[in-house]
Amino acid sequence: MAIDKKMEAAFNDQINKEYYSEYLYLAMKTIFAELNLPGFVNWFNIQVQEERAHAEGMYEYVLERGGYVELFAIDKPEVKGSTPLEVFKQVLEHEQYVTSRINAVYDVAEEVKDRAAMLFLNWYVKEQVEEEASVGDVLAKLEMIGDDKQGLLALDKELSARVFNPPVIG
Ligand code: FEO
């Protein structure tokens, strides 16, 4: 069954938001490079790859359903803070926003009774729980660390261990 046009539009909008997320994290990465925190840089490198995978997963899904992928302009990323704590507050806010948008895509799938899309989107719903939890964990540690430079360096070391595991979506 061909994909519903409203469903297709919701996926195309979300593909753009995932690419925006990639762009936003790419912009945030430079702040940590300037601060000489390679572990944080590594964390953002992986985040960037994950966002691209999220976008590509939807891209391939729309094609698989016989739909049309329309790519839109990616907005200039707006990084609001300049300290690790400020940046991670924004990361959490952003992921919460993405969760709300994934839920909105799911709402469309329910509305048009697209059960295949709902099953596909389950992966994204679960992924957002993980995204918010992992970002929340870093944020909580940064709040504990405060102005303690040794604590910040210890967290940087911890984040250098993060590796990219290409997600199997759907
Ligand atoms: Fe694609 Fe970070 O959610």
Per-residue tens of pLDDT for the chain, all 170 residues: 789 999 999 999 999 999 999 999 999 999 999 999 999 999 999 999 999 999 999 999 999 999 999 999 999 999 999 999 999 999 999 999 999 999 999 999 999 999 999 999 999 999 999 999 999 999 999 999 999 999 999 999 999 999 999 999 98
In a domain? residue 76: no
Position in ligand 1 atom list of the atom nearest CA 131: 2
Pocket of ligand 1 (CB under 6 A): 18, 21, 51, 54, 95, 98, 131
Q: Which of 50, 56, 29, 24 is nearest to 40 (CA)?
A: 29
| Cα 107 to middle of ligand 1, angstroms | 18
Position in ligand 1 atom list of the atom nearest CA 54: 1
In a domain? residue 28: yes
Q: How far from 75 is each of 17, 27, 98, 105, 148, CA to CA, in Å? A: 9, 12, 15, 20, 35
In a domain? residue 64: yes
pLDDT at 170: 85
- Residue range of the domain that includes 129: 5-68+82-159
In a domain? residue 103: yes
In a domain? residue 164: no
In a domain? residue 55: yes
CATH (domain of 10): 1.20.1260.10
In a domain? residue 169: no
pLDDT at 151: 98
- pTM assigned to the model: 0.97
Closest Cα to atom 1 of ligand 1: 51
Domain count, the chain: 1
pLDDT at 1: 78
Structure tokens, 39? 């572990």
In a domain? residue 151: yes
pLDDT at 124: 98
